[in-house]
Amino acid sequence: MKKINVAIDGPAAAGKSTVAKRVAEKCSFIYIDTGAMYRALTYKALEQKIDLEDGPKLVDLLLQTKIELEPADKGGKVLVNGEDVTKEIRENDVTNHVSIVSKHSGVRKLLVERQQQLSRQGGVVMDGRDIGTHVLPNAEVKVFMVASVEERAKRRFEENLQKGIQTDLEKLKEEISLRDKLDSEREVAPLQKAIDAVEIDTTSLSIDEVIAKIIELIEERS
Ligand code: C5P
């Protein structure tokens, strides 16, 4: 299969990372979770009690922060300056603050550069909010995954239950809606469907059905 680039965007908890990881595995492409980069910086900023509204301070912090994403087949860990933060970056505190950190243009500029560097060789499946519109505008396949907020909250609720974490479904719904609002209304690279992206509504589709649709697009275009 030709080493093309695949951009997968969409709102919070739409199942992008699960699907992107499996698509990458099937095509022997590299999966890149850009959200993990914004989360890693947010984790560091919270740890150092940096004002999340202070863009230049966050940029300084980012310049001193080495973020490594291990390939999925090597464990898929997220390391920050060598520290394994895979679990920590998924915790509520990070999740509920990451959209503030990611709105700053300086932060985005640096992370987008890193993301573009990682995809230079092609053969990448990258998920995020601005991949099809800004990071990989020339990606051969662009997908915009959507699902109702009820369905996304329900999936996250069940995922948490399986991990033994009890959550409040209504609160999850509110948190997901707020994150979507912040990500869609920010000035720099807001969450938006690229004009040439194929929208997939996953509300009533299984993960396997979504994967099959994306593989079909990859086969068509490679
Ligand atoms: O994909 P995930 O939910 O882990 O992303 C966490 C947050 O990181 C998003 O809510 C968004 O604020 C930010 N993000 C972004 N651009 C990306 C990926 C994530 O702004 N390409």
What confidence tens digit (pLDDT) does each residue in 122-177 have?
Answer: 999 999 999 999 999 999 999 999 999 999 999 999 988 998 888 899 999 999 99
As given in the structure block, the two tokens for residue 142 are: 């662009």
Please provide the average confidence, as pLDDT, over all residues in the chain. 96
Residue 101: band (very low, low, confident or very high) from pLDDT cuts 50, 70, 90: very high
Q: Which residues are annotated as a binding site for ATP?
A: 10-18
Closest CA to 175 of 8, 32, 13: 13
DSSP-derived 3-state class of residue 168? coil
Q: Which atom of ligand 1 is nearest to the CA of 183?
A: 12
Ligand 1, CB within 6 Å, residue ranges: 12, 34-35, 38-39, 98-99, 102, 128-131, 179, 183
Tell me the helix, strand and coil percentages in the chain, rounded to 5: 50, 15, 35
How far is the centre of ligand 1, averaged over its atoms, from the C-alpha of 135 (Å)?
13
Domains and CATH numbers, the chain: 5-203 (3.40.50.300)
Calpha distance 179→98 (Å, rounded):
9
Name residue, tokens 């800004």: 134
Q: Which residues are annotated as a binding site?
A: 10-18
How far is the centre of ligand 1, averaged over its atoms, from the C-alpha of 12 (Å)?
8
Nearest CA to ligand 1 atom 6: 35
How far is the centre of ligand 1, averaged over its atoms, from the C-alpha of 38 (Å)?
6
Residue 68 has, within 13 A of its CA and on its CB side, a CA count of 12
Nearest CA to ligand 1 atom 14: 35
Q: Are 153 and 176 in contact (CB under 8 A)?
A: yes
How far is the centre of ligand 1, averaged over its atoms, from the C-alpha of 162 (Å)?
23
Closest CA to 182 of 8, 11, 54, 57: 11
Closest CA to 11 of 211, 192, 208: 192
Query: Quick check: 98 pLDDT over 90?
Result: yes
Per-residue model confidence as pLDDT tens digits over 195-206: 999 999 999 999
Nearest CA to ligand 1 atom 16: 129
Calpha distance 208→66 (Å, rounded):
34
Calpha distance 211→26 (Å, rounded):
9
